[in-house]
Structure 1
Amino acid sequence: MNNINHKNIMDFKGIDAGSFGSLLSFMENNEEPWGVKDCESRFMYANKATLKFSQLPINFSIEGRLDNECPAQWAEFASDLQRQDREVETAKKRVAMIQTCLWGKEHTLCEKYPLFDNEKKCIGTIFHVTKFNFISLYDLFNKEIPPVLITKPPTNSFTKKELEVIFYLLQSLNAKEIATRLNLSHRTITNKLQLIYEKAKVNSLNAFKEYCKAEGFNRYIPEWFIKSGCIFI
């Protein structure tokens, strides 16, 4: 499998074979899942840990396949994963996604980075998956944790504090409970809710929840909420 992986990945034009070969060697010998996708989200390379953690056969030929073409738990969420690939390629910077049941029984943090050629053109993505301990996350969610969580807001319409209010609002907390969680006054939260509704162009909680579902806020968690509660294993 390794020879095929090396050949496929070196098919990318404009990549320095020497330096990238060293990166591939690092990935191959790493105990955590690493891999490379092209700009169509097709796997160009995946190390053995990727196959192991996703419970794929060790001899499974993943090269050239899309997420939904692999018999893995994350195949069901291919659209979310590929949307993130496009985001990385467009923004040309790291994007992280929290995954709660896509790699066997492990909770994971999936980080993706843009892959550039020698001309600084983005030609794909590099992904890295790390085990994640959700000690604080279970305390944050009143409901079942979604299988895929994003840490970047779906829109830039809201302030940091408004994003915190939105998160707790979607956990069915009322204004008083949100005020307690954020150590703010009840009146402050009420005012923020009014501003949030105005920005979303809605006038009721049910309408706002529909807005959040359409925009993707039902899968969003502020990244600063989990940093202090995460442990890398």
Structure 2
Amino acid sequence: MNSEDRDSEILRVVKTFIYYWEQSREPWWVKNSNSQIVYANASMKSFIGLPEGFDIEGRYDHELPVELHRFASQFRQHDRQVLREKERSTSLQIQRFNRKDYLEAWYTEKYPLFGEKGDIIGVIPHFRPVESIFVSRLANIKTPSSLMFNAPSKIFTEKEWQVIFYTCQFFTPKMIGTAINISHRTVEDILCRIYKKTGVGNKRGLIDYCIEHGFNNFIPPGIFQTCDSIMPI
């Protein structure tokens, strides 16, 4: 199937939803399996600050003349994860939206889009506002960010992801143990397993590894409970 036929199928599949999206105040858009934008409602175009009259269809994220384009590689990674796992993916965008001069936090939820034959043909992203959030890390964010809530890889266990998260925040093993309610010796054992999996030899190497692979933007779900935070997902 060529790209034109593929995008036509996408529009047929989502036709009913478009009636709702056109009335919605929240941003909705649709991408094909190559991460090209096939549809975006008016709220989406206004939300990200697109110039009036700019044709968004067929564009990639990095081609958009808006601040959001700097995270194009991360968005492409999120898209691939949804296409691969056929499950919803949730991230947190810290950006200047609606041409405002201050940062706001919005969730980006991406859903798999299945075609007429049951195969996955694209992704449906949706921005929704963060109603309430109390996480110390987020309170200090001063620059636009993209944070993930779905594990970007299955190489690590849930506990290992928690240790990785706190290590990227420069916590000591003792501090990590207190945060996730295990002994610091257990933390050190977990770190040794992580080093072996990643091929690094110390925490600095692990942090560099996480930055290189985008893992430093992942926040494990269990972190919210240990921080007494409220995350309306």
Give the structure-2-normalised TM-score: 0.83
The residue type equivalent to 1:106 in the other structure is E
Question: 2:198·2:209 contact (CA, 8 Å) conserved in 1?
Answer: yes
Partner deviation per Cα, 1:155-205 (whole Å, 9 max, x = no partner): 222211111111011101111111121122222222222222222232222
1:5 corresponds to: none
Q: Does 1:85 align with 2:79?
A: yes
User: Could you tell me whether the CA contact under 8 Å between 1:73 and 1:103 is conserved in 2?
Assistant: no
Shift of 1:144: 6.0
2:230 aligned residue = 229
Residues 1-233 of structure 1 mapped to structure 2, 5 A cutoff: 12-13=8-9, 17=12, 20-101=14-95, 103=97, 105-133=103-131, 135-139=133-137, 147-226=145-224, 228-231=229-232
Letter in 2 for 1:208: L
Rounded Cα–Cα distance in structure 2 between residues aligned with 1:87 and 1:186: 33
| Alignment-mate amino acid for residue 73 of structure 1 | E
Q: Using the alignment, how far apart are the partners of 2:91 and 2:197 within structure 1? A: 26
Structure 2, gaps ≥5 residues long: none
| Deviation per residue, 1:33-75 (Å, 9 max, x gap) | 1011122222111111111211223543212222122111111
Structure 1 Cα separation of the partners of residues 138 and 35 of structure 2: 32
CA distance in 2, matches of 1:71, 1:32: 20
Bigger Cα displacement from structure 2, 205-214 vs 54-63: 54-63
- What's the % identity of the aligned pairs? 35
Distance (Å, rounded) in 2 between the aligned partners of 1:186 and 1:75: 41
What runs of 5+ residues in structure 1 fail to find an aligned partner? 1-7
Moved more, 203-212 or 130-139: 130-139
**Separation in 2 of the partners of 1:190 and 1:144?**
32
Asked if structure 1 preserves the Cα contact closer than 8 Å seen for 2:162 and 2:222, the reply is no
**1:48–1:58 contact (8 Å) kept in structure 2:** no
Q: CA RMSD in A?
A: 2.8
- Cα distance between partner residues in 1 of 2:10 and 2:188: 55
| Distance of 1:137 and 1:184 partners within structure 2 | 21
Task: Report the secondary structure of 1:12's partner residue.
Answer: helix
Aligned partner letter, 2:23: N
Q: TM-score, normalised by structure 1?
A: 0.83
8 Å CA contact retained: 2:29, 2:39: yes
